[in-house]
Amino acid sequence: MNSSYRQFIFASAILMTITPVPSVFAADAVTTSLDDVRQESQIATSYALNPYLRANDLKVTVQKGKAVLTGKVDEKISKELASEIARGVSGITDVDNQIVVEANYLPHFGHGGFGDKIDDASISAAIRSKLQWNKDVDSVGTDVSTKNGRVTLTGNADSQAAKDIANRLAMNTRGVTSVTNNLKIQSNQMTDDDKARAKAEDESHNISDSWITAKVKSSFMYSSNINGGDIDVSTNNGVVTLTGKVASGIERSLAIETAQNIRGVKSVTSKALLF
C-alpha cells in the first residue's frame, strides 16, 4: 500500500468520525431557534390581547431563553406588567426590560388591532346571550354588531319596552362605550294572548334551577355595573336568592333587576344582599 493511498484512508476515517458532530449542533441550533420563535410569538400575542398593553408599541426578541423587551409605555406599571407576562412564558429564563416610560406617550387605542377585534366579538356574544336569556326580549329578530366598543342593534322589537330593555342590556355590558339602537318596533308580531301562551309554555318547560343560576351569574359577569364576584347566587324552584355585598343601592337594584329578567325566574330574594 503506497503512502498516497494510506493518506486517503486516514483522511476518510477522520471525516467519517467528525461529520456527524456538526449535524448534532445544527439540530440543537434549529430546536433553540424554534423555541425562541415560539416564545416570541407567545409573548407578543399576550401583549396584543392584554387591554393594558396592546395599545403600546412593544417589541420582543428571544435568544436562548432570554427575552429583550423594547418600546414605550406611559406608566411604570405597564412596564412591570410586560415583564411579568414575559417571565410567565415557559422556557424564558431571563428578561431584559428596555421599555421606556414616557409620561407624555399616547397609546393608540381603538385602531382595529387583533385584541380590539377579540374584544368586539366578545361584547357582541355577551349581548346576544343576555338578550337570549331575557324573558322580556325576543332575541330572534335582533342582530348585534360591535366596532371598537360601539354597539349597533338592528332588527325588530315587539314593543317600545322590549327595545328599551335591549338598549339597557347592551349599554350595561362590560366594554361597551355606546349603543346605537336601530331596532324597529313591530307591535303586531304577537298579540297579548300569544304572549300569555308563550309565557305559559316557557313555564311548562320547567327551566332547571342550575341553568337559571348559571345565567344569573354570567349576566353579572358581563355587566359593567355589577361586581358579580361578591354576589352569591342560588336557585330553588325558580326562586333566586342573592347574598353578599354590593357597593351601592344602585348596584343592588341592578343586580335584582338583572336576576328577575332571566327566563324561568319566578321571584328574587335579596334580603341578604347588603351594601
pLDDT-derived band at 16, boundaries 50, 70, 90: very low
Q: pLDDT tens digits for 21-58? A: 455 455 555 566 888 899 999 998 888 877 778 778 89
Whether 262 has a pLDDT exceeding 50, the answer reads yes
Closest CA to 140 of 178, 166, 168: 166
- The torsion of the CA quartet 101, 62, 82, 73, rounded to 10 degrees, works out to 30
Residue-level pLDDT at 239? 95
| Residue 15: CA count within 13 A, CB half-sphere | 6
Q: Treating both helix axes as pointing N-terminal to C-terminal, what angle do 114-133 and 20-49 enclose, rounded to 10 degrees?
A: 50
Average pLDDT of the chain to the nearest whole number: 82
Whether 13 has a pLDDT exceeding 70, the answer reads no
Q: pLDDT tens digits for 91-112? A: 999 999 999 998 888 776 555 5
Write out the DSSP string of 53-114.
TTTS-EEEEEETTEEEEEEEESSHHHHHHHHHHHHTSTT--EEEE-PEE-TT----TTS--H
Residues whose CB falls within 8 Å of the CB of residue 98, separated by 6 or more in sequence, listed in order: 68, 69, 70
Whether 204 has a pLDDT exceeding 50, the answer reads no
User: What does the alpha-carbon distance between residue 53 and residue 113 come to, in Å, rounded to a whole number?
Assistant: 12
pLDDT-derived band at 17, boundaries 50, 70, 90: very low
User: What does the alpha-carbon distance between residue 215 and residue 132 come to, in Å, rounded to a whole number?
Assistant: 10
Residue-level pLDDT at 163? 92
User: What does the alpha-carbon distance between residue 197 and residue 207 come to, in Å, rounded to a whole number?
Assistant: 16
Specify the range with the lowest mean pLDDT, choosing from 116-120, 196-200, 263-267: 196-200
Residue-level pLDDT at 237? 92
Whether 123 has a pLDDT exceeding 70, the answer reads yes
